Structure 1
Amino acid sequence: MAARRAGRRTGRPTRVSERTPVVAAGCIAAGVCLVAAIPPWGWWPLAVVGIALLDLLVADQPAPRRFRRTWLTCAVWLGIGMVWMWDLTPPGYVVATVVFAAYFAVAVAVSPGGRARRLALPAAFVLAEAVRWAWPFGGVPLATIPHGQVAGVLGPVVRVAGPLLLVALTVVVGQALAAAWQRHVRDAAAGSAVVLVVVLLAGVAPTGEAVEELRVAVVQGGGPQRTRAAPEDRQIVFGRHLEASEDIEGPVDLIVWPENVVHIGLGEDGSPGVFEESPEAALLGELARRHDATVVVGVIESLDARSFANTAFVIDPSGEVIDRYDKVRRVPFGEMVPLRDLVERFSGSVPGKDARIGTEPGVVATPVGDLAVAISWEVFFTGRVREGVQLGGDAVINPTNGSSYWLTIVQSQQVASSRLRALETDRWVIQAAPTGFSGLIAPDGTVVERTGVSERRVVHGTIERREGLTWATRLGDAPMVVVALVALAVAWGLSPRRSTEVDRSVEVH
């Protein structure tokens, strides 16, 4: 009777049909909307539609149903959004999709499913994403909601409290849409008011200020995608970038080369490779002298038969190596193999070497100012860029290498990550890749210039060194995690004891 009264009051059903095909279709549609919102597709408004569908699917349902419906929705979203992983490791792709979808399913299942879900569902998504971005193996922040929403109207809110705030607001907008569909006017208005307040707050939140202009050249040597690193290819890749550097025009202050386009092997006696003593360092020193510019270049130094260092070196205009940053966040199963002894028993295709973990902060001192550095994968993590900017980075450099990946999903999501980091820190981001995408991202998240895949090109542009810290840079993600935990506790406190139970008298099987 309660459900019937609710239906007469709202004029529309408060939840979807219980028929299995209808429910499955709804979950799949919600998942497709969520994945279509992220790069490379980028139809960002569809994320709101996906959340609205999910909200209707879990409304007033018991925990097991909320788990199943959320899991299917998120498995579709993440399964498509991370499909490129199949080319690297089919078992890893399947496990990642199943497990990460379960993060969201568990979070929604332990949240109240009645009207209190208006408070609980945003908190559940924030907590699920926070865990996924941190565990296991240091986190896997791929195919995230903020990757799509950074292109939308809510993107600037990340300056207030980082990408987790953007997750929360996207869910709130989706719930407001669902409430409007159900003609729950107060809930729709409340959600809209929350979003409006945060957007207005983002408009007055502190940002940085420009202190100096820099003329930059980003070198992309070009070449085929979907290749694996091989010793015979290393000089070819290096040569392509030397040739592309001939296209640098006019006076420049900073030249940026991509990640690991220089490989320094072990010495004849097995001693570690030393970039400063290599022919490649001499050629890059000549490049710096010729243009009277600072050069930042990505280098792999072999340390022994089982390890290497992934490093960004700084070469000053006189041709001398003056600073370095060693990568801290390693790519799971790419730069390090968790449980290597066990994994190698079942697969002969795992990388033979692990990257050494860097110990220094993500900032380098250069003649053109202190620069925050996030090598490749690290730009997906708020904390890596935040650390460099907190320590004085006036701009952000992201040397990367996506040439081994199938399709352009990862590369597109990396550009989105660079846009997020630019907005969060109010800094210019310089992204350099050997085969794409390379480009310049302004502090407002705008992609000012971007290369195509596989093309040889030098991106020229003028950026600003900037000073000052945003709230997100000062505080990081911790405040949003605390807010989400409090919101979930309050939601349970407000939830009637039977709010998660379905009225059996009107349930249709």
Structure 2
Amino acid sequence: MPVAIALLLLSVRRERSSRAWLTGLCFGITFICTLLWWLRAVGTDAWLALSALEAAFFAPLGLGLALVSRLPGWPLWSSLLWVAVETWRGAWPFSGLPWGRLSYAVAGTPWEHGLPWIGMTGVSLLVAGTGAALAWLVVTRAARRAAAVLMTAGLAAGSLLPTVAAYPLEGEGSVTVAAVQGGVPGNDLVAVHREVTANHVTATADLAADVEAGRLPAPDFVVWPENSTAVDPFTDPSANAGIESAVDAIGVPVLVGAMVDHDRDPGQVLNQGIVWSPDTGGGDRYTKRHPVPYGEYIPLRDTGLLPTTYGQLSLIPRDMASGTRLEPLRIDGALVADAICFDVAYDDGIHAQVARGGQLLTVQTSNAMFIETAQVDQQFEISRLRAVETGRWVVVAATSGISGVIAPDGTVVAQSGRVVTEVLVEEVGLSSTITPAVRMGAWPGRVAVAGAVVSVLFAVGTYRGTNARRAPVPPEDREVART
């Protein structure tokens, strides 16, 4: 990553505005089209459309990098500009797409250990700064190279320091959690959703039998994945009966991933994690905060401004509404921060729930459509990084893979295969320690955006002022001056 960023900075350094934006766009097309290659599982049109939208953010990035390259301290401003655009496209439009943040690729590297200290945004800045330092080493003159070497050495030290100074975490006991991966025949979950629900019911009943026989420890609660029932379990008799039988068999709460009809708007649906208890049935719920535009809802459907029936969009008859909950779920005495599928890529919901007492993190996901692609691996790596960032154990339950249990240091304690039925039962720790990353919340991104805007405005003003001073004097003005 630092080498790629260094090459981008060198490509646009002091370049004309009419060319710098094009260089940035070409970089973005190459990067994003490769990153989102897995989206072809939905359709080539979806892959090209989303890639085009996300790549477009790199055009102003290239332009901005060219402008700030004329400023003193340009490596810093360039790094801030990268992170600012990363923050921007991760929040807009339609809640953005954080996929492709530099920090989402640091699992297994020294940068990973900086996550609890400076968060995802801070680590992205560190990686971008390393790339900028490399570019500085290339272009700086020998007389000034010492400063570039010092900056590079400082970034290296900053990257390595957390590896020897891990953030201290305090434990608050433990619970035993079971993650059930029922399996999906094929990759079209909707077509076989009844069978998917039955698979999770059967797997949970088998778990109960293993517990009774002493082959597995008894869990304190069970986690089912997103879309473990694709119909409302409160109104569908078959889904309700299946869940009730599974919960009665295991005798502990089950966090069920379910599609629930909106109680006030029949044109909307809710994607929820529901705490289903043996005695009281469905209770506490978390609703997915970040539904996927054009995947789970159609933006501005009623305005007619954007397409609603093109291609596979006709398969979205109802829009998925966004959740607003910021408090963790209470499951058998434990406070559980929940994230549903792509929620794990967004900071806001996870940070809010952990800051409000969440003692562990669950990720419920349904990615059968992408099971043969890199999307599954990318999302699981983000889950690993969330464990490190928040200082929490993470339990991932997927419909067909990859499910897993991850320790706060990013170690994968247990992991399922793909396209199989599998149950993972592990003892996980609880903690209420709030890492600096969680305490800072969205502020690092806001500061990066503000710093980037100020640096670009200053660069524009400086550039215009310099050009004005260098502008040629017309002949008639020179004659007047001589006179």
Q: TM-score, normalised by structure 2?
A: 0.84
Q: Which of 379, 394, 408 is equivalent to 1:443? A: 408
Q: Which letter maps to 1:48? A: P
Alignment of 1:178-327 (within 5 A): 178-182=135-139, 184-197=145-158, 199-200=160-161, 204=165, 207-230=168-191, 233-248=192-207, 249-264=216-231, 274=234, 278-303=237-262, 306-318=267-279, 320-327=281-288
What residue is the counterpart of 2:63 in the other structure?
109
1:498 CA drift (Å): 8.7
1:120 CA drift (Å): 1.8
Q: Which of 345, 364, 369 is equivalent to 1:380? A: 345
Q: Which letter maps to 2:308? A: E
Q: Does 1:402 align with 2:361?
A: no
Are residues 353 and 95 of structure 1, via their aligned partners in 2, closer, same or farther at CA, if it must alter by over 3 Å?
A: same
What residue is the counterpart of 1:62 in the other structure?
16
Q: Which runs of 5+ in 2 are unaligned?
A: 208-215, 468-483
- Determine the C-alpha separation between the residues in 2 that align with 1:381 and 1:134: 9
- Determine the C-alpha separation between the residues in 2 that align with 1:354 and 1:263: 14
1:117 CA drift (Å): 2.8
Q: Which moved more, 1:487-496 or 1:156-165?
A: 487-496
CA contact (8 A) 2:27 2:58 kept: no
Q: SS where residue 369 of structure 2 aligns?
A: coil
What residue is the counterpart of 2:119 in the other structure?
162
What residue is the counterpart of 1:429 in the other structure?
394
Q: Which runs of 5+ in 1 are unaligned?
A: 1-46, 266-272, 502-509
- Determine the C-alpha separation between the residues in 2 that align with 1:178 and 1:100: 25
CA contact (8 A) 1:309 1:326 kept: yes
- Determine the C-alpha separation between the residues in 1 that align with 2:321 and 2:401: 26
CA contact (8 A) 2:402 2:417 kept: yes
**CA displacement 1:251-278 (0-9 Å, x = unmatched):** 111211101111335xxxxxxx626x84
Q: Which letter maps to 1:139? A: G
Q: Which moved more, 1:174-183 or 1:62-71?
A: 174-183
Q: Does 1:131 align with 2:88?
A: yes
What residue is the counterpart of 2:211 in the other structure?
none
CA contact (8 A) 1:253 1:292 kept: no
Percent same amino acid at aligned positions? 27
Q: Does 1:343 align with 2:307?
A: yes
CA contact (8 A) 2:87 2:445 kept: no
- Determine the C-alpha separation between the residues in 1 that align with 2:55 and 2:466: 21
Q: SS where residue 244 of structure 1 aligns?
A: helix
- Determine the C-alpha separation between the residues in 2 that align with 1:491 and 1:198: 27
Q: Which letter maps to 1:332? A: P
Are residues 157 and 499 of structure 1, via their aligned partners in 2, closer, same or farther at CA, if it must alter by over 3 Å?
A: farther
Larger radius of gyration: 2
Q: SS where residue 344 of structure 1 aligns?
A: coil
Q: SS where residue 219 of structure 2 aligns?
A: coil
Q: How many pairs does the alignment contain? A: 445
- Determine the C-alpha separation between the residues in 1 that align with 2:459 and 2:323: 47
What residue is the counterpart of 2:423 in the other structure?
458
Q: Which letter maps to 2:239? A: E
Q: Which letter maps to 2:26? A: L
What residue is the counterpart of 1:363 in the other structure?
328
1:312 CA drift (Å): 0.8
Q: Which letter maps to 2:25? A: W
Q: TM-score, normalised by structure 1?
A: 0.80
Q: Which letter maps to 2:412? A: V
Are residues 202 and 235 of structure 1, via their aligned partners in 2, closer, same or farther at CA, if it must alter by over 3 Å?
A: same
Cα RMSD, aligned residues only: 2.8
**CA displacement 1:64-114 (0-9 Å, x = unmatched):** 332222221121111011122234254443233233223233123124224
- Determine the C-alpha separation between the residues in 2 that align with 1:348 and 1:427: 38
Q: SS where residue 262 of structure 1 aligns?
A: coil
1:444 CA drift (Å): 1.6
CA contact (8 A) 2:12 2:23 kept: yes
CA contact (8 A) 2:401 2:419 kept: yes
- Determine the C-alpha separation between the residues in 2 that align with 1:411 and 1:482: 32
